[in-house]
């Protein structure tokens, strides 16, 4: 697919299709149905495809379509950040729990 883009072959993907796909990926992230690392890879690919769609403008689409696509990609980016932040919080809690298990308990009578 990338080789086609490098050769100047245009994409047949529509702005509306990318917008729906970005929204769907965001929902999957929210539901924890996909991992944030996988979501980040999908966003990277979506972003590349969106640039091709916007630059080539093979299909007639309005500035509203372009704005909707950019908003959907932005929302997906925020969903990824929230997912990663949630994972960070969980990891920190687990580390704290493990640290507390390793610490020797203080004897109140000594």
The CA distance from 68 to 76, in Å, is 12
DSSP class of residue 108? T
The CA distance from 49 to 78, in Å, is 19
Mean pLDDT of 33-54: 90
Say what the pLDDT of residue 22 is.
Answer: 95
Q: How many CA atoms lie within 13 A of 38 on its CB side?
A: 8
For 54-95, write each residue's pLDDT tens digit: 777 656 667 888 899 999 999 999 999 988 887 788 888 888
Q: Model-level pTM?
A: 0.68
- pLDDT band of residue 27 (cuts 50, 70, 90) is very high
On whether the CB atoms of residues 58 and 9 are closer than 8 A, the answer is no
What's the mean per-residue pLDDT of the chain? 82
């Amino acid at each position: 697919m990338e080789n086609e883009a490098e050769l100047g072959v245009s994409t047949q993907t529509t702005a509306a299709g990318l917008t729906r796909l970005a929204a769907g990926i965001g929902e999957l992230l929210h539901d924890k149905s996909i991992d944030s690392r996988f979501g980040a890879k999908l966003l990277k690919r979506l972003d590349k495809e969106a640039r091709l769609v916007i630059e080539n403008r093979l299909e007639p689409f309005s500035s509203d379509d372009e704005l909707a696509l950019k908003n959907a990609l932005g929302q997906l980016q925020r969903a990824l950040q929230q997912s990663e932040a949630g994972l960070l919080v969980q990891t920190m809690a687990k580390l704290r729990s493990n640290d507390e298990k390793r610490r020797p308990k203080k004897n109140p009578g000594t």
